[in-house]
Amino acid sequence: MTKERTRYSDAELEEFKLLITDNLKKAEEELTFYKAQLSERADGDDAKLKGLDDGNVSAEVERLTQMAARQSKLIQHLKNALIRIENKVYGICRNTGKLISKERLRAVPHATLSIEAKMQRK
């Protein structure tokens, strides 16, 4: 009879930490890009936009604002995942208490629900 694991090993947590840190760096770079784009739009000096009507400019600003908000949310989720790693509770489903599969965590490193729990919520 094999005992069910209740948490990932320190080595596994370190592997996830590297993955999350890499994703966090990329997300922060993207957020910086979106903020720079928004800043250019706010300055009104963007030559590419001079030929566009105000509606198109507004739509572009709205799109960039939404993308920046999504990146900010992702960054917070990734930072929270790093905290869970430090507390050695990373990868534990908050509904079932079971380990979230490594495959899921590699695909969505900030996941807090197993596929099983996610399906139950639908």
Give me the pLDDT at residue 57, please: 72
Q: Answer whether 19's CB lies under 8 Å from 93's CB.
A: no
Q: Which has more pLDDT, 41 or 39?
A: 39
Percent of the chain residues topping a pLDDT of 90 = 70
Q: Is the pLDDT of residue 47 over 80?
A: no
Phi-psi region of 52 (alpha: psi -120 to 50; beta: other; left: phi over 0): beta
Predicted confidence (pLDDT) per residue in 67-98, tens digit: 999 999 999 999 999 999 999 999 999 999 99
What is the four-CA torsion angle of 33, 34, 36, 38, rounded to 10 degrees?
A: 170
CA dist., res. 63 & res. 77, Å (int): 21
Q: Residue 95 in 3-state DSSP?
A: coil
In DSSP terms, which residues pair with 109 in a beta bridge?
none
Q: Which residue has the higher pLDDT, 49 or 99?
A: 99
User: What is the value of pTM for the model shown?
Assistant: 0.83
Residue 4 amino acid letter: E
Q: Name the residue with tokens 């600003």.
A: 61
- The amino acid that residue 16 corresponds to is F
How far, in Å, are 67, 73, 78 from residue 23 at the CA level? 16, 13, 8
